[in-house]
Structure formats: C-alpha cells, structure tokens
Amino acid sequence: MSSIKIQKICCIGAGYVGGPTMSVIADKCPDLEIRVVDINKERIDAWNDLDLNKLPIFEPGLDRIISRTRGRNLFFSTEMEKSISDADMIFISVNTPTKTKGLGAGQASDLSWVEASARQVAKYAKGHTIVIEKSTLPVRTAQAIKEILKTTDKETQKNEISKTFSVLSNPEFLAEGTAINDLEKPDRVLIGGEDSDSIDALVKIYLNWVPYEQIICTNLWSSELSKLAANAFLAQRISSINSISAFCEATGADVQEVAKAIGTDKRIGNQFLSAGPGFGGSCFKKDILNLVYLSGYFGLPEVANYWNQVVVLNTWQQDRIYKIVLEKLFGTVNGKNIAILGFSFKANTNDTRESPAIRISSDLLEEGAILSIYDPK
C-alpha cells in the first residue's frame, strides 16, 4: 500500500459533482480534513447556510450528510491559496462546457477552468501533491495538466522548497437525483494513473467504504476515455429506444411492451429503455459532442458521424413530441392552456440544464400556447 499519507484534501469546484462527492468522502473518512473551494462566493455561502433547504443543489440524502460533516471535517470556502497550499491531494471538479467560439466551437470542450485550476495548483501547492481529474475531460487532458504544472512550477518556484506533482484520473459516474446512492454504493470506482504510490493513496481512501474488487485501475488515457464512452453509451440507449417508439406509433406496437421484451435479454438489460422526450442535463450532449470532435481530430470521421447521429435523433425526438401535441390539438395551440409537469431534465433534481421540457415549451410558446409549468424542485 502507498507510503504517501493523505491528511488534507482540497476540491476545486463546489458544483454538482464536487459538493456531493467531497461530502460523502468526508462522511466515510472522518480523519480526513476536506476543503471545497470555489470562486463563486454566493455558491459557497449557500453551502454554508444553516438552513439546509438552501443548499445550492438538491440531491436526496445530501442534507443529512452535510449536517453530519460540515464544520467537523468538511469545509466550504473561497480561500483558494490556503486550501491548495495545505492539501496533500487536490481534486479538480470544474465546469467543462462546450466551446461557443473558435476552433471546435459547438463540439470541443472549453478547458479554460481546468487550465486556470491547474495554474493555481502549480502556484500555491507545497511539497508533493496528488492532482486528480474529477471533471469529465477529453482524452489526453492529463498530459496538458502535467505540462501546466511543470511549466508554471518552474516560473514560480525559484526560491521555494521543491514541488512535485502526480496526476490521476478519477472520473465521476453520478446520475443527478441518485448521486448520494451512486457515491455510497458505486458500481465501480475508476482510477487512472502512472504513479503506483499515488494510485494506492487514492485507493486507500475509497477502501473505507468501497470493496476492493470494485476499484478498477487503468492508465490515464483509458480512464479519461471510459467516462466519455460510458455517457455516450447511455445516451445511445435513450436515442435507440426513442427511435423504436416512433416505429411503435407507426405500426401499432407498444413501446413499453417492446422495451420489456428486449430488456429481459441479459445481454441488453432493462436500464435506460424508457421512451420519452430524450436526454438532457449538462453531460450527455456535451460529452457526445466532445467525442464527435475528438473522433474527427484523430482522423476517424465514420466514428464521429456515428456518435453525432445520437444527438441528431435526440433533437428530432423533442421536435417530434412538440408536433404530436400540435396534431392532437387539431393543428393549433394558440390561446390553449397546456400543463407542463416537470421542468428539470430528470426527476429528483433541480437542474434544468439542457432540459427537453425547455425546448418543447419554447416551441409551444412560439405557437401561442398558454403554459402552466410545475416542478416539485
């Protein structure tokens, strides 16, 4: 087992991944001191609010964990420099949105926040620090982080005690709405890296609640790609069953019966076979488009076209549902009252990013409909 002793952890990014993940680690590892830092003061204030109903994100069970750990060994702060300099291990859990301009716009990931975080780590870290990618990132991002740490370190080190870094990939496999259960009872924990001591140090933390056989260790690039591939495969299943739903409507078949019939095949399984308005959220579309961009970058246009079609069909499904509503209401919804039940992108979350309900509602409003929207969160 690793000779590296971890006492203090810093997580850069207090969002949908960083907050819940660090909360569970703090709960399972009471001897570790964990600081979650973010430049967004309003978000940090919400994490520190005494009223647990005001936490910046909603996840079933999160409030109970926060009540046990916050102020004990879990702290939320905007003090970036001190939190980094004190840490033995640093997680980077920041946004990686799709680029809106420049090379790769509309497909490639914007890694500005990742780069900024890496430069902060290189500037303020002391001694040996394990840097962990928690955000979903393009393959080979770890190499860029290594170069940033190495270059920035040389620029700022001069009269300081020598700094060293090792970089690991430890992608999250959370589903919003079930994040706490996913963290406490994961299907697997994936760790990619080259330095065995650093890998062992992270494995030791997870062994506090995750069975050893569920911890998978790979090289850096396999770990980075596995996260993108997992999201792509899940989104693919949603688009696949939605394509079958259109067949069912055209032929008189029942999509729920078809889903049950194929889902009982052990080779297929019954997860992600519920037809509906398509996938939303901050991950699936972004990650597939990133995979499309990377496929083109590495000279694999056929692969790019294959995965791009998953997104195309998802958009088509939302447009199809809007047209079905229009057809059922005799070709016009102008002045008609329509209820929208649920506005977040899925159940048990308050996240509306890329929610199918937004596009469908927007199309109905363009037609003159009067909407009443309800969502419990």
| 361 in Cβ contact with 320 (< 8 Å) | no
Q: Is the dihedral of CA 150, 155, 156, 159 positive or negative?
A: positive
Task: Dig out the tokens for 96 from the structure.
Answer: 């990686």
Instruction: Identify the CA nearest to 288 among candidates 241, 355, 239.
Output: 239
Would you say 4 and 88 are in contact if contact means Cβ atoms under 8 Å apart? Answer: yes
What secondary structure, in 3-state letters, does 74-113 show? Answer: EEEECCHHHHHHHCCEEEECCCCCECCCCCCCCCCECCHH
What percent of the residues of the chain are helix, what percent strand, and what percent coil, each to the nearest 5?
Answer: 50, 15, 40
Q: What are the φ/ψ torsions at residue 191 (nearest 5 degrees)?
A: -130, 120
From the CB of residue 242, how many other CB atoms can be counted at a distance below 10 Å?
A: 23
Which among 10, 11, 29, 283 is annotated as catalytic?
283
Phi-psi region at 102: left, alpha or beta (left = phi > 0; alpha = psi -120 to 50): left
Residue 328, judged by CB atoms within 10 A of its CB (0-12, 13-18, 19+), counts as: exposed
Instruction: Tell me whether residue 283 is one of the annotated catalytic residues.
Output: yes
CA–CA gap between residue 151 and residue 282 (Å, rounded): 32
Would you call 282 helix, strand, or coil by DSSP? coil
By annotation, the residues acting in catalysis are: 283
